[in-house]
Structure 1
Amino acid sequence: MKSGLHKWFYWGIVNLAIVALYGAVMRYKIAFHFPFFEQKNLLHAHSHFAFNGWTSHILYCGLTAFLARHIAAAPFKKYKILLGLNLICSFGMLFSFTIQGYKATSITFSTLSIALAVTYALFFFKDQKHLPINDAVKPWWKAALLLNVLSSAGPFALAYLMITHIPDQQIYLGSIYFYLHFQYSGWFFFGSVAMIVSHLNGHLPTFKKHFTLFAITVIPTFFLSLLWTRLPPWLYFVTAAATILQLAAWISLLVKAASIARKIRTTAAPSWINWFFYAAGLALTLKFVLQAISVIPSVSQLVFGFRPIIIAYLHLVLLGVYSLFFIGLLISRKIIRPTSTAKVAAFSFLSGVLLNELLLGLQGLAAFAYRPIPFINEMLFGAALLLLASAMGLVIAQFNCKKNTKRSRPTIR
């Protein structure tokens, strides 16, 4: 890793703690009385910062670290500038959404973050000539960046509805689901796999088939979010077929990756870190299984009608899949040193994710029967506090790592 790049990864863990802080505040407002700040504004700030300041920031850092192996120092500086600008936009959205909600300032920062995504993609496609022709990582990063840009059509559609004052609920929901799908199943998924492939590069000659399957199914599976609109029969068939194919591709990829990982396993990182990769893999498998089940129209309509189910699914993916994967990766590559503090904080975070999902799942099931669960909001606040304390523990471990970087440099690849 080029000198100074590791500090950008450090910012990611700080941002995770901020995301957890906002989650705890929102849960407190639901369970108890807290008159300050609008809940809707906090939600917008929380979600935008989680996407841009945490997940996207780590992916941009991973891509920049990958490019650092092949690009000279002078052209490489522009990527560091983009990382800094992305952080500025992330904090700009965090504060402006918190204070004002959807106003000119927050919309400006949101638009600038989209412009940065486009700029990063353009730089990458221009500089890919410096990369090895047969590098197995390139297709995954290219698809991730393109899908990140594609997802921006969702926010632009929402902005159009707000400007024109058109009260179209289907377009409104469709725009939100479009953005979420191409972030979760596009930019986040392809980018995360790219980071894995980068780590295992040279051992993955057959992953091209899996990439092709995921690439051709990522657009059709978006229509899973629109089954409640009564799609034409042919489009429903294509959507269902793509969903099943995607599940099969994931299972095949998981089996092959596990086999390769066993063959090249090293003792560079403690074995306990593998639990985070196992948990992330299990959560992603559950995501694909739930997608396959949702091809049943009656199930899809039922699920999308209950807010707790939607929230549980979103947290399953963002926390259970990507956050756990990033935590495991950062510790395994010694961005965060695998100290006892980091171990306790990381496993506490894993416990918080499990508890949060369990409570949200129970809340969703109870909603089907229209029966409230006593003290569910207080328990969810407790889970949020656990996540916050764990993330703060990782921040402490992170700065302990920073003090020791002269003795042992992080090695993200």
Structure 2
Amino acid sequence: MKFLTKISVQKSWIIVCFFNFLIASLMGLLMRFYYLFPVKHINYSFLLHAHSHVAMLGWTYLMIYVLIVHFFIPKHKSSKPIYNQLFWLTEFSVVGMMISFSVQGYALFSIVFSTLHILLSYVFCGLVWRDCCKGKRTDKKLLLGAILFMILSTVGVWSLGPIIGMVGKHGILYQIAIQFFLHFQFNGWFLLAVLALFLKQFKNEIDKEQFKVFFILLIVSTIVTVAFPVSWYVKNNLISIVNAVGIVLQLIAFVYFYKMLKAQISWFKASLSATAKMVYSLAICSLFLKIIVQLLLLIPDIASSSHQIRGFVIGFIHLTTLGIITGFLFGILFQNKLLSANSSLVRSGVKCFIVGYIFTEIILFLQGGLFYFNIGLLPFYYESIFAASAFIVLGLILIIISELRIKKIRAD
């Protein structure tokens, strides 16, 4: 009975995460709509802040929270009230950010809720460290690395106050601090966490020597590639060289990632449903494309202009968040039947989501390319990006409806 209660609680958590994802996507769709029909009473900048925080902390962070508790925390510990209480307190902070950022942007209440989220994330890291990060399994080592990167990333946030006091919001230190936080959140905490969860799905322990090389290279490359966003504000050849070394090390790391899993790939694929295969393929392809994009950034002219072209920046962020991270999260959910792959609504929702994601990426990078070559605006750009984004929203709505139906049937 306790086990069933635990599953029921985590199912509720999953639905809440999807609602957060839907709200973030609706905010994104509203921003697309804004370019077609500007709305007087909507502050685009405020909405952008709300969208990014809810997507990053309400969807990605909380879904990783759910899956870490499910897969890494022993049942007798994960059933303790602290994990449930912490989840809902964290969701409270997300809702607070959702409202406050939309209404006032960066101001008193949004800062309070953001700070609360960081403090709660420290509590979560402490619980995970205490309850599961013992032992020599490779997935646990990867999770430990993810937690350390999460804590490291917040140094960027805590440094904002002193920086504003010394040089204000318009200095390069302020921008570097923000990029420091984002880099280690996305490329450190989120990416390593989903890879740890992914490795947890393999029954047999992988080759420890190959993992050791992969792990060291990935950690080092993640640390040194923070040089790339720093290079946007500090022009120095040494910084560019450090970033180039990091990108090459990352490429070698994922070559080892493939080598250490190669022997188990056939078994792994055979164990998956068609839907799980589809979303895992999305994640792997997006990871491959991310590596290619970063290799292209070794070309100085592309590197120097990439962050100035909005299509490239948003396209790359979505490649990481919607493609890689969400792709792996979806795959793990379907593989373990935490989402029902048998539901036609869910399958239709996933297909809509993937179609929307692929077309938004194509449009964003194509538009970025046109701006790079000074060609101008893609015909019907705003209309097409709005339509593609609507598919993402529709996909999430279908998934949520299906999961709510299934939850109701089980409750009856």
Shift of residue 356, structure 1, vs aligned partner: 0.4
Shift of residue 84, structure 1, vs aligned partner: 1.3
The answer to whether residue 69 in structure 2 is matched with residue 64 in structure 1 is: yes
Aligned to 2:346: 342
In structure 1, the residue corresponding to 2:207 is in which secondary structure? coil
Shift of residue 189, structure 1, vs aligned partner: 0.6
1:43 to 35, 40, 48: 48
Aligned to 2:20: 15
- Alignment-mate amino acid for residue 47 of structure 1: S
CA distance in 2, matches of 1:142, 1:81: 23
2:280 to 277, 280, 285: 277
CA distance in 2, matches of 1:356, 1:392: 18
Shift of residue 374, structure 1, vs aligned partner: 2.4
CA distance in 1, matches of 2:113, 2:408: 33
CA distance 1:101–1:73, change in 2 (3 Å): closer
Q: Which has the higher contact order (CA 8 A, sep 6+)?
A: 1
CA distance 1:233–1:28, change in 2 (3 Å): closer
CA distance 1:124–1:244, change in 2 (3 Å): same
Count of aligned pairs between the two proteins = 403
Q: Is the 8 A contact 2:227 2:242 kept in 1?
A: no
The CA deviation string for residues 209-250 of structure 1, in whole angstroms up to 9 with x for no partner, is: 312221122110110222234565555433322210111211
Shift of residue 117, structure 1, vs aligned partner: 1.4
The answer to whether residue 241 in structure 2 is matched with residue 209 in structure 1 is: no
Which deviates more, 348-357 or 192-201? 192-201
The CA deviation string for residues 160-193 of structure 1, in whole angstroms up to 9 with x for no partner, is: 4445562544223212221221111101111001
Aligned to 1:381: 386
Shift of residue 67, structure 1, vs aligned partner: 3.6
Q: Is the 8 A contact 2:67 2:197 kept in 1?
A: yes
Q: Is the 8 A contact 2:276 2:335 kept in 1?
A: yes
The answer to whether residue 319 in structure 2 is matched with residue 316 in structure 1 is: yes
Aligned pairs for 1:290-329 (under 5 A) are 290-329=293-332
Give the CA RMSD over aligned residues. 2.2
Aligned to 1:173: 175
In structure 1, the residue corresponding to 2:308 is in which secondary structure? coil
Shift of residue 41, structure 1, vs aligned partner: 0.4
- Segments of structure 2 that go 5 or more residues without pairing to the other structure are none
Shift of residue 120, structure 1, vs aligned partner: 1.4
Shift of residue 370, structure 1, vs aligned partner: 4.4
Aligned to 1:352: 356
The CA deviation string for residues 75-100 of structure 1, in whole angstroms up to 9 with x for no partner, is: x3222222111111111100010111
Aligned to 1:410: none
- TM-score where L is the length of structure 1: 0.91
Aligned to 2:148: 146
Shift of residue 404, structure 1, vs aligned partner: 4.6
- Alignment-mate amino acid for residue 99 of structure 1: V
Aligned to 1:253: 257
CA distance in 2, matches of 1:266, 1:110: 43
Shift of residue 258, structure 1, vs aligned partner: 4.8
In structure 2, the residue corresponding to 1:173 is in which secondary structure? helix
Q: Is the 8 A contact 1:89 1:109 kept in 2?
A: yes
CA distance in 1, matches of 2:287, 2:178: 21
2:38 to 33, 38, 46: 33
- TM-score where L is the length of structure 2: 0.91
- Alignment-mate amino acid for residue 31 of structure 2: M
Shift of residue 400, structure 1, vs aligned partner: 2.5
CA distance in 2, matches of 1:216, 1:67: 25
- Alignment-mate amino acid for residue 178 of structure 1: F
CA distance in 2, matches of 1:200, 1:259: 11
Which deviates more, 257-266 or 77-86? 257-266
CA distance 1:247–1:45, change in 2 (3 Å): same
CA distance in 2, matches of 1:264, 1:357: 28
CA distance 1:403–1:332, change in 2 (3 Å): farther
The CA deviation string for residues 15-64 of structure 1, in whole angstroms up to 9 with x for no partner, is: 11111111111110112132222000000000000010000001111111
In structure 2, the residue corresponding to 1:262 is in which secondary structure? helix
In structure 2, the residue corresponding to 1:84 is in which secondary structure? helix
- Alignment-mate amino acid for residue 333 of structure 1: N
Aligned to 2:197: 195
Identity over aligned residues, as a percent? 26
- Alignment-mate amino acid for residue 219 of structure 1: I
- Segments of structure 1 that go 5 or more residues without pairing to the other structure are 408-413
CA distance 1:234–1:192, change in 2 (3 Å): same
In structure 2, the residue corresponding to 1:218 is in which secondary structure? helix
CA distance 1:264–1:357, change in 2 (3 Å): closer
